[in-house]
Every structure is written in structure tokens, then in C-alpha cells.
Amino acid sequence: MRIAIKNSRISESICYLLVLAAATVSVAAALYMQHVEGLQPCTMCIIQRYAFVVLAFCALLGLIMPFRPIRVLLSALGMLAAVGGMVAAIRNLWVMAHPEILCGRDPIEIFLNTLPTAQWFPKVFLSLGLCSDPIPPLFGLALPAWSLIGLIVLAALLGIAFRQR
């Protein structure tokens, strides 16, 4: 009986560790694309970036929190953030497919750019680009498609951690 509990805890910890690592790498890749490749993030990109940051934060806290109810709440919050990021990624892909539609320079952009995080960390959270700007694909897929895939996988990992008893 004790072995099953230990294995359950290990798999939960592995899920949190994978989410933390993948979300951190995703944000690092986004910052690389912005600051090295010169691709300015649009409103939807910043929302996806926030989703990955929240996922990483929830996974980190899930790793260190000893209380199961708090870990369950953190998993649920992380999954909710992932869903928000997925919606932004889908919207971003839709706008890229319809370049006559703009996603930026609207109330959402103004809201995002006035958030304290955008003021404190403008190189990370300030939206300066347009979703319709051409972005070269990475391994045949648009960047928002990779973001969508990553968010789905990370939400699934948090769901696995959520279900561990």
C-alpha cells in the first residue's frame, strides 16, 4: 500500500517538473524569437506568454506545496490558464489565416500594456506587434500552432497530476 502512494506522488511530481521545464523553455523560446530574431509579440502572443508563465508558476508551487488540496487548486488554475492560452493561440492562428483582420491596437492590447507586469517587465510582456504580421514557420508549423500543441500537452500533464491520489 505504501509503495502505491509513493509511486503516485512520484508521478505527480514528475508531471509538475515536466510542466515547469516545458513552460520555462517555451517562454525562453518566445523571448529568443523576440529579442534575437526581432519578432515583436502581438496581443495574442502575450496572452499565450502569460499562460505559460502561470503554468510554470503553478507547477513550481505544486512541486513544493505539501498539502494536496492546494496542489489540486494549483493544477486547476494551471489548466484554466492553459485553456486561456489555447483560445489565444486559436485566435492567433485564425487571424494569421485571415490577414485582413487585425487583433492588435484594440482595447485588449491597451489593457495588456497597462498591466503592472508589462510596466515592470516590458521586454517580456509588452505587446508591440500585430497578429497578422508574417512569421516564418518553425518545422513547418506556425508559432501559435506550436504554442497550442504545447498548451494542450501541459494541460494534460496537469490533468494527470490533478487525478493522482
For residue 116, give its domain range.
2-163
pLDDT at 5: 45
Confidence band, pLDDT 50/70/90 cuts, at residue 3: very low
Report the range of poorest mean pLDDT among 4-8, 40-44, 108-112, 125-129.
4-8
Q: What is the CATH number of the domain that holds 145?
A: 1.20.1550.10
Separation between Cα atoms, residue 103 and residue 119, nearest integer Å:
21
Residue with cell 492588435: 104
3-class DSSP state for residue 138? Answer: strand
pLDDT at 10: 54
**How many domains, in total, are found in the chain?**
1
Judge whether residue 104 has pLDDT over 60: no
- Dihedral sign for Cα 122, 125, 130, 136, please: positive
